[in-house]
Every structure is written in C-alpha cells, then in structure tokens.
Structure 1
Amino acid sequence: MYPTDSNKLPSVAIVVFNHFSPFHISVPSIVFGPSTLNEAFFDLKLVAGEPGPILSDIGMEIHTEHQLDALAHSDIIVIPYWRTIDERPNEALLAALQRAHARGAFVVGLCLGSYVLAYADLLVGRRASTHWELEQDFSQRFPCVLLDTNALYVEDNRVITSAGTAAGIDCCLYIFRKFYSSTIANRVARRMVVPPYRDGGQAQFIDQPIPVTSSDSRINALMENIRRNLSQKHSLDVLAESVMMTRRTFTRKFSRATGMSFGEWLTTERLNVAQDLLESTDLSIEQVVEKTGFSSVLMFREKFKARYEVTPNQWRKAFYRQSNNQT
C-alpha cells in the first residue's frame, strides 16, 4: 500500500482531449470515482489536455473545470487514450507530464495513452505496454522503450502503461491496490463485475494468423491434407516423399512458402484447432489432445502455455461459449 497523507485523499487527474473515447474515459472515472462504493477514496478531477471544446468520437461533450496547471498538484495523472498515433501531443502537456513525474507523481498511459508518455520521453529506457496491434509501430517510433508485448500493464519507476481497452480496468485496479488494500480494490472489482486479477497476458487475445495457402501448389495440397489429418503423426521424410522432394528441399521450400518451419506450422495449426475445441465443445483435455495430434497431455499443456500464457483450462474458463449448451 502506497503511503499517503492520512488527512488528504490521493488526487487523480484524468486528462481529456478532443475526439475522446467514452469507454476509455469511463474506466478510470469508475475505478477512482466515488460512485462505485458510495465513498470517496480519491480526489478525482477531469483536466482539459488542450484548448477548445472536448468532443467525443460519437458527439458527446465534456466540460472540465480544470486546466493543465492542475497537474502540478496531482498524485496520479491518467492519460486514458490518444486520438491518433501519428500526432505529437501539444508541448505544454508533455512538459507538464515531465514536471509531474519529476516531483514524484504517478503518470499513467492507458492503451494509446502510452504513446503520449513516449512522446513526453517518460518511457526512455523503461518497460512499457500498449495494444498488441501497435507493437511494430510503437517499437519503430520509440526504439529506446522496452516494450513488453504480452503484459496487460507495466510499472517502471512510477510510469505505468497498459494494453488495449479493457486492460485499462486491470491497470486502474492495480493502482487502487497501491494506494489502498487489496480488500478494498477487490470490492471495487466485484461491484464492477470484473475479476480483481486476470490470468495471463495479451498473448491470449492476439490474432496470430498462419498461412492458409502459399504460391507452391504442392505445398498447398499438402497443408490441406494435414489439416484434415491433424491427429496423425507426420514424418518429414514421408511428407517430402509425398511431394516428390528430398527432405532438405522440402524443408527449404516449406519455409519459403509459409515463412515458418514445418514443425512451427504444424504446432500452430494444432493449437488453433485446440483453441476452437476448448471454446466450442465439452471435450476433455485428453480428447482435445487426441484430436489435435499432440504426443501427450503434458506436451499439449506446455505448448499451449508457452504460446498463450494461460493453461488450456484457463482458456476454456475465459472463452467457452456457454450458448452452445442452450436450446
């Protein structure tokens, strides 16, 4: 629990901009606001991050009573989003964030808010997180940032960043626990009907496409045949012979055609089918293993956990479609 002046509530400033996203604004407002538990644990204020009207992307408008000078007295400053990754925020805001962090404030970037903190040079040499879809862009723009592409949120020396959208809830609950007990933070989570902690990281949500076809017709036919027979064992020598190639030539051409080794492609195919079976059927783990061709339950669990950072049972718990059992 973070030490605070017992006579003063920790102050939270949520910085808002034109073209804001209502969801991203509502997350810190609900977690840190007084309405969730009908009691104030933070002194919450909305701060205009720039001059002019503050309109949302769907036409809502926010009227704020505070300007950037309010950041000089805030314990926690939250940038809940940013409207476009190509736009550098105004220099007055960036300077205010730098001064706030230098005097000891926590500076938080939720989702694309991490871009604002990066533009302010607050992430140089620090670990950070952002939405997985923007990993390549973020790393190219800010090569001095140690981007953790799997983390739901990251703290490094009072600079806190989170992954996309709903990960902002996880991040704000984490901050709540820093200033108060886990017991109170868990009450907030229950009131919001969200888990106090989420297992795993972004890996379980990342779209990881695999090649469906290639420019090689023989490789395409082979891949389709393997998909229909995933439960079987597949030998490189036998597969190479089936397409009238040497093992070495087959290995080279498969890698060139798909961008993956045959072993990587096969494991990924099997994991994708396993995902679908866990989400849409009541098959036991043993049955899933049998249908997808993994050599053992242990091997399946190891491969699944390595790829998605959660166990198969945790995946099923999170994504199983209950509607499949409804009539």
Structure 2
Amino acid sequence: MPNRLVVALAYDRLSTFEFGIAVEIFGLPRPEMGPDWYRFAVCAIEPGPLRAIGGFQIMADGGLELLEQADTIVIPGWRGASAEPVPPALVDALRRAHERGARLMSICSGVFALAATGLLSGHRATTHWHYVEQLSRAYPEIKVEPDVLYVDEGRLLTSAGSAAGIDLCLHVVRTDFGPEIANRLARRLVVPPHREGGQAQFIERPVAPAREGARFAPLFDRMRQRLGEEQPIHMLAAEAGMSTRTFLRRFKAATGLPPGEWLLGERLIRAREMLETTRHSIEDIAGATGFGSAATLRHHFRSRLGTSPAAYRSRFAQGAKISSSLSGAPE
C-alpha cells in the first residue's frame, strides 16, 4: 500500500521521547527512500491545549476522526500507566480502526491504552520492565513478555521502554519496505540496523568504560573478520594480551556478554545479512559464518529468532539487491 498513513496519538502530559520516535521514523520527509514513503499525522485524543513533558504544547493535525483513515496507529506512552483511565472514545476508535485492518502499535507505557481496548487479550505483549508487574496485574489475560524489546502479533505490536520503540519502528519499516531501506534508515539514525524483538531489554553494564572499549575495539574488528573460523578463548586472550581469566572478566565488562555469546550474536547478524542479500545455500552460509552446518544454523535461528533461515530469507530478501558471490567470484 503506497503512502501508508501513520497516525501518532497526542494527549495531555504526552510522553515526549516516545512521541519523538514516531515522528523521527515516520514523520520526517525522506525523499531518498522513494515516492511511497509514509504520510504522517498527529491525532489529538482530547481538546487542547495538550502539554508535553518538557514544558511545551502540541498542535495536532486533527482529532479521533484521523484514526478512521490510519493504516498504522502509534500510541507513544500513556500518562500514569495503569493508574490513568483511557477515554472511552479513544478505546472505541482504536477498536474500530483494528476491525477495518489498521495496525496498532504501542511504545513503552502506551501498552496500557492498547490493553484497555481488550484487543491484547490472549496475545503476547511487552512494556518497559518498570511496568511489567502493573500490566500483568491489571490485565491478567495478556501474555506479558517481560524480557524482550518488542513483540509482533501481526496487527498488534508492543515495545519495551523508550529506545526499544526505535527497534519496533525499524521492524515495521523492515516489514513494509524490506531490509535495505530499514538498514539505510538505521544508518541515518546512527542506531543498530536490526535488534531482534526477543533480545533482552537490558544487560549488565551495557556501556563499556572508555579504556576497555578502546582496548577491545581492534579485537572486535578482527573477530568479525573471521567469523567462519574457530576462535578459542586462549587465542583471543593472547591477542588481547591478557590471561584467560582476566580476558573473560574484561570482555564481559565491555560487552555485557561472554565471548561465545557475543560471537554467536555476530554470526547470526552476518547470517541474516547473507540471507537477505545473497542466493547462497543455507549450508554455504552456515560455513561462512562459523556455524559449521545448516542444522546448527537452523537450531540457533529457531532458538534466538523463532524462525528458520529459509522462512527468514523468504520474508526479508524480497526486493533486496541480491548477490550470488561469497568472495566476488560467481557461485
């Protein structure tokens, strides 16, 4: 559907950061993305003035009637989470939009407004870890996923706190326009191009100390360059000029992960890129990315991503610029 209309809700005491995510992804003109990019509008769910957190006011494009035209509706947070009632008129408008086929997505505490419609009953959903218990108590019929970045249930999508909304919005762009466009947009935003929804919301010490980051950066680059090879811990420790014990401790401090888990994540990223952009067999991709066999690659895809390499390729390679070469030579 060309020129999809995305409508973001605005309300008094609006969550500014979450609203800004919707504007940044869907609301800015992006001629470099082609003629079919999103149209965007802001819907006031109540009479103004609408104050946003941070001391400014929002001037909306229209009221709830905009939801009758929307292809995607973004709920950017919700004031008071479960403590603040959702206006019945908004509940009805969201239900009607969903009935006619609109996609509804919430960022952070916006899940409470979506949950009030009853549409999430029996479905999986997530929110910021701070609100997980509130959501579970208020809506026990929802299958709350407490430790993920976002959940895609078809036309009902929910994200964890704040920045996870960027991941969800990029996931939507990826679904609508394919991986090439989504990756290009991610580069414009200077964010990772694709974090899986099932990734944990937070890790221990996610930001490395400057000294550790500088020390490990060259090693990270070398590890990425040889993903198809065995990389035993003792070899990596020697390259870093550390004992094995010190290396393991400092590597986890710098990345939040043990070396094996970090390598697995990087290998999955490379495998996804190859599935999206090449015609190589799954067996060849498994070998080139260090999984050894197609069976092992399928196992990790299923475990980490909840899908198979073939299904992933079918979904995300459509429209991508496909290469048939591993090293520049014909396959």
Deviation at 1:202, TM superposition (A): 5.7
Q: Would you say the 8 A contact 1:46–1:65 is kept in 2?
A: yes
Secondary structure of the equivalent of 2:200?
helix
1:94 equivalent among 82, 91, 95: 91
Name the structure 1 match of 2:107: 110
What are the equivalent positions in structure 2 for 1:162-173 lying under 5 Å apart?
A: 162-173=159-170
Q: 1:46 aligns with which of 27, 42, 47?
A: 42
Q: Residue type matched to 1:68 in 2?
A: L
Residue by residue, what CA displacement relative to the aligned partner does 1:88-132 show, whole Å, maximum 9, x if unpaired? Answer: 210000111011111111001111111111111121000111001
The answer to whether 1:20 aligns with 2:14 is yes
Label 1:178 to 1:201 Cα distance change in 2 as closer, same or farther (>3 A).
closer
Using a 3 Å threshold, how does the CA distance of structure 1 residues 63 and 204 change in structure 2: closer, same or farther?
closer
Equivalent residues in 2 for 1:162-241, closer than 5 Å: 162-198=159-195, 203=200, 205=202
| 3-state SS in 2 of match to 1:165 | coil
**Aligned 8 A contact 2:149 2:196 in 1:** no
Report the AA paired with residue 125 of structure 1: G
Match of 2:223 in 1: none
Q: In the alignment, does 2:261 pair up with 1:311?
A: yes
CA RMSD of aligned residues (A): 3.2
Partner of 2:137: 140
For the pair 1:79 / 2:34, whether they are aligned, the reply is: no
- Shift in CA distance, 72/277, structure 1 to aligned 2, threshold 3 Å: closer
Q: Closer, same or farther in 2 for the Cα pair 1:178/1:204, shift >3 Å?
A: closer
Q: 1:315 to 1:83 in 2, by over 3 A?
A: farther
Taking structure 1 as reference, are residues 96 and 312 closer, same or farther at Cα in structure 2, changes over 3 Å only? same
Deviations 1:256-283 (A, max 9, x none): xxxxxxxxxxxxxxxx8xx899886348
Q: Quick one: distance in 2 between partners of 1:288 and 1:279?
A: 21
From the superposition, tell whether residues 151 and 276 of structure 1 become closer, same or farther in structure 2 (CA, over 3 Å): closer
**Match for 1:116: what amino acid?**
A
Report the structure number with the largest CA radius of gyration: 1
Judged with a 3 Å threshold, the aligned counterparts in structure 2 of structure 1 residues 291 and 35 are, in CA distance, closer, same or farther, namely: same
TM-score by length of 1: 0.63
Counterpart for residue 128 of structure 2: 131
When structure 1 is superposed on structure 2, of 51-60 and 193-202 the one drifting more is: 193-202
Which segments of 5 or more consecutive residues in structure 1 lack a partner in the other structure?
208-271, 317-327
- Distance in 2, Cα, partners of 1:163 & 1:63: 27
Query: TM (normalized to structure 2)?
Result: 0.62
Q: CA deviation at 1:75?
A: 0.5
Between 33-42 and 177-186, the greater mean CA deviation after superposition: 33-42
| Alignment partners' CA distance in 2, 1:10 and 1:277 | 40
Q: 1:205 to 1:95 in 2, by over 3 A?
A: same
Are the aligned partners of 2:150 and 2:197 in contact in 1 as well (CA < 8 Å)?
Answer: no
In structure 1, give the amino acid aligned to 2:172.
I
**Tell me, what secondary structure is at the counterpart of 2:89?**
helix
Q: Is the 8 Å Cα contact of residues 277 and 288 (structure 1) preserved in structure 2? A: no
- What is the aligned-residue identity percentage? 35
User: Which residue number in structure 2 is paired with residue 55 of structure 1?
Assistant: 51
SS in 2 for 1:139: helix
Gapped regions of structure 2 (runs ≥ 5): 217-232, 267-331
How many residues align structurally?
A: 234
8 Å contact from structure 1 (residues 127, 147) kept in 2: yes
